[in-house]
Chain A
Amino acid sequence: MEHLLDHVTPYLKMSLEERITFIRSPRWIGYSAALQAHRRLGDLLSRPAAMRTNGLMLIGPYANGKTMIAERFAIQHLRTAPAQKVWVIQTHEGSGLSHFYSSILTAFKAPMARAHGVAGKADQIDQLFNRLSPQMLIFDEFHNALRGRAQDTEAIFGFLRRLGRVYDISPVLLGEVAIYDHVNATDEMASRFELCSVPRWQYGEEYLTLLDSLEAALPLARDFGLSAEPMARKIHALSEGLIGENVAIVSRIAVHAITSGIERVTLAAIEMLPYVPLSARRQSPQRNKLL
């Protein structure tokens, strides 16, 4: 089975359910933009002390692997560093400082006082940061914090600037293009954040390499040849260049092939998959069937 990676070959002998479970597990794919993002995060983590905030914006469309990049970086840091210096914070849904502080306290697993107002939470955060000296805080879904009044957004940005000034913490903001708009609205914030984009995949050599790598990582008895021209174009069109959708489609193809027993794929089979691309779902025939 020379078309498969070494660690995948044992899975061919396993039962159907185990193969399907393995196909559906979340995967990290080390493509060039992801590795570049990791390099920039690593540089930010190891930079010397500075007086001003230095932050990064990791921006791209949904389902394009931003959270996977950030979590992988954090887990690798936790595995190798003697003390934790990177935290991943899931931004709470509400806007305003109180929710934002709660997100940070939850991420730090700190005990929380129910009666604490904004001032109490701010004091607690100051105490914790003084003790723990974090160097990087990664805010996942940061655009949640920007959906509010202008003064709430300003307050949160002011807090991020204070973090950099007082504790020398680098904030990393993950999310969609709204973050880019808000940050670049003023020079004050724009001068502190650099952009690291996670764009959609264009059809090209690298995209075909992606499909090959995915195939090699799935326990398929035969090389499907997904990177051949017509099938690759079809998959690219369905996924619209988003890596999350790509992985979902390829997994679906693989599961379908295994369960049906036909260990090969044709263009017709792909079209018969019940898969509708993201942008087409709003006005699709399948919606009309729901009426």
Chain B
Amino acid sequence: MMRKKEKKAFVVEVQDQSYRTFVCDRWPVSVATLPNELLSSWLKRLAHANGIAPYHVASTLGLGNGFGPVKLERSIPERVASLLNNYTGMDSATLAAMSFGGNAWQPLLLPLRNNSHRWQSNWLQYCPQCLGADPTPYFRKSWRLATSVSCAVHRCVLKDRCPSCGAGIAAFGQRYLVPPHLCASCHSDLRNTPAGKLRRTIRNLACALNQLSSRQTPSRSSALILQLLDLPAVTTPPLSGPFIQLSTAARIRRLDELVQHLSITSENHPGQTYRTAGKVQWFASGKSPDISTLRIAYLRARTRSEQVAHSGKIEVLSQKSTPDFWLSVSN
């Protein structure tokens, strides 16, 4: 067979990459974090986006039973952080920002676990109006703290149960594909919970606690934290069980009793108030044996009450010689 003089040629190229090496290991759907989001809420949305129940995400990350991510919020081990980075591309700084590792307020996290009597002591809290206002509902970091009993934005009381069936809010570990704004047991919409107003008496205290706990490392607050943990013991009648294991309603009652004690005290012993230019400071010291170990400055704004609490700068100051301390609010 005769060949032509000039030769045609096909394109020949080395194919050094196969399809398998070209495609990365990431999970198919990635989910961005929302402002101030809780880690377990992000993991729940991530699981839902990739089509599996949150329970299985926990086992994919090697976290054992369904409560793994709740423990993750205390501190994230290196191994889990690198696995999450591999599968989702989320860097460890962002992951740490969603959890409480290294945060001074960590002792005041709600434990969210079953106690030894096999019934759950408390549940994750939520604000129905925040969930309703979100384009994508998600759970905030501050809702896991025991000091949060009211919403910082909407000023309504936080709920911790489903309005229809009364079941507690599961932080994680559902075996079914349910979006975060539905109750895990009865699938009713949590955004429809009727909003409750906080009692006027503790409104300012709740706001002050919200503002304090939003700071990462407040100065000299460890004493305050310890005293908050002991709060049920100093009420009348004293309760057993620490503050952090109470439900939202029980914690509101404790704080209410505290405020009433303080108001009685300060009427008997009018606290020294100092008013300097632009600054109002309240100092309260307790003389009665009930609250002798607990001194919290009691915020009673005389003028423009809520605006002071919200727009003012709050500092925790203490004197070196005595264990007293007070909260200072400046406009």
Contact = CB atoms under 8 A, between A and B. Distances in A.
Contact of B9 (A68, A108, A132, A212): A212
A113 to B, nearest CB: 4
A259 interface: no
B50 A110 contact: yes
Contact of B11 (A29, A68, A132): A29
B13 interface: yes
Nearest to A22: B14
Q: Secondary structure at chain A's binding surface: helix, strand, loop or mixed?
A: helix
A30 interface: yes
B1 interface: yes
List the 8 shortest-distance A-B pairs measured between CB atoms, nearest first.
A124-B51, A127-B51, A30-B11, A113-B56, A217-B12, A213-B10, A71-B19, A213-B9
B177 A123 contact: yes
A22 B12 CA distance: 13
Main secondary structure of the interface of B (DSSP, over half): loop
Interface in A1-41: 5, 22, 25-31
B5 interface: no
Interface in B6-43: 7-19, 22-29
Interface stretch (A72-80, A159-167, A170-178, A179-187): A72-80
Contacts of B10: 29-31, 209-210, 213
Contacts of A72: 15
24 contacts: A25-B14, A25-B15, A26-B16, A27-B12, A28-B12, A28-B14, A29-B12, A71-B19, A78-B23, A109-B28, A110-B51, A111-B47, A111-B52, A111-B57, A112-B56, A113-B55, A113-B59, A115-B56, A123-B177, A127-B48, A131-B28, A213-B9, A216-B9, A229-B1
Interface string A186-223: 00000000000000000000001110111011000000
A109 to B, nearest CB: 6
A88 B17 CA distance: 14
Interface size range of chain B in the complex: 35 or more
A108 B8 CA distance: 40
B51 A128 contact: yes
A26 B25 CA distance: 23
Contacts of A213: 9-12
A182 to B, nearest CB: 25
A265 interface: no
A125 interface: yes
A114 interface: yes
A153 interface: no
B22 A78 contact: yes
Interface of A: 5, 22, 25-31, 68, 71-72, 74-75, 78, 88, 108-116, 123-128, 131-132, 208-210, 212-214, 216-217, 227, 229
Contacts of A214: 12
Contacts of A31: 10
B50 A208 contact: no
Nearest to B13: A28
B231 to A, nearest CB: 42
Given A74-B19, A78-B22, A128-B50, A110 B27 contact: yes
B176 to A, nearest CB: 10
Contacts of B11: 28-30, 213
Contacts of A78: 22-23
Contacts of B29: 128, 131-132
Nearest to B28: A108
B53 interface: yes
Given A111-B60, A123-B177, A209-B8, A27 B50 contact: no
B63 to A, nearest CB: 13
Contacts of B57: 111
B246 interface: no
A184 B304 CA distance: 82
Nearest to B24: A109
Contact of B49 (A26, A131, A210): A131
A189 B7 CA distance: 43
A131 B49 CA distance: 8
B49 A124 contact: no
B3 interface: yes
Q: Which of B8, B12, B29, B47 has the most CB of A within 10 A?
A: B12
Given A111-B87, A127-B50, A229-B1, A216 B12 contact: yes
A28 B23 contact: no
Contact of B177 (A68, A127, A217): A127
Given A75-B22, A109-B28, A126-B51, 4 more contacts: A22-B14, A109-B24, A113-B53, A127-B50
A6 to B, nearest CB: 12
B51 A227 contact: no
A108 to B, nearest CB: 5
Nearest to B11: A30
B53 A109 contact: no
Interface in B293-324: none
Contact of A132 (B28, B53, B56): B28
Contact of B15 (A5, A27, A109, A123): A27
Q: Which of B10, B23, B53 has the most CB of A within 10 A?
A: B10
A100 B278 CA distance: 72
B177 A27 contact: no
A31 B47 CA distance: 45
A125 B3 contact: no
A109 B27 contact: yes
